[in-house]
Amino acid sequence: MIRLEKGKYILIFGLLCFIISVGYYLHAFSYKDSSIEILNTRVNLLNESLSLGKFEYYSIKRVPFQLKNNGNQPLVICSVNTSCGCTVAKYEKKAVPPGETTTVVLEYKPNSLGYFSKTADVVCNVPKGYVRLKISGEVVEK
């Protein structure tokens, strides 16, 4: 068994971490799939934030958000990531032509009483990479 001093362990560990990091970044920044190219477009939201007001604990609220494609390229929604498992997003999984509108419905099922604020990121081909939707309200007992 080879016995190393504490300083050598740190040096070897640091060197190993550096090599792994360099390899990861070289891989991440050199990967390009030329067969797929999605061009950015612009989206206009009628409302990006909606209040659901007060409602009872056992009810489910559904809120539609309208996204209009104001750009020159089709709008492609890759996914919708919600901030909590109590919020589910529903949307059509097809490209939206320029000038057309699509709807993302957020469905909120309360898991506790009181005030809430939730977000959903619509990951799509806009310059920022996503559009953030927000809902808030207050869940009360009967």
pLDDT digits (tens, 9 = 90+) for 47-79: 899 999 999 998 999 999 999 999 999 999 999
27: containing domain: 1-31
26 and 53 in a single domain? The answer is: no
**What is the per-residue pLDDT for 55?**
94
Residues in CB range of 116: below 8 A, 6 or more apart: 108, 110, 136, 137, 138, 139
Instruction: Give the residue-averaged pLDDT of 11-35.
Output: 54
Residue 16 lies in a domain: yes
Residue 38 lies in a domain: no
Residue 36 lies in a domain: no
Residue 17 lies in a domain: yes
**What is the per-residue pLDDT for 99?**
95
65 and 8 in a single domain? The answer is: no
Are the C-beta atoms of 83 and 118 separated by less than 8 Å?
A: yes
**What is the per-residue pLDDT for 39?**
84
Residue 57 lies in a domain: yes
Q: What is the pLDDT of residues 87-141, one digit of tens each?
A: 999 999 999 999 999 999 999 999 999 999 999 999 999 999 999 999 999 999 9
Taking the C-alpha atoms of residue 112 and residue 57, their distance in angstroms, rounded to an integer, is 7
Taking the C-alpha atoms of residue 123 and residue 102, their distance in angstroms, rounded to an integer, is 14
Domain count, the chain: 2
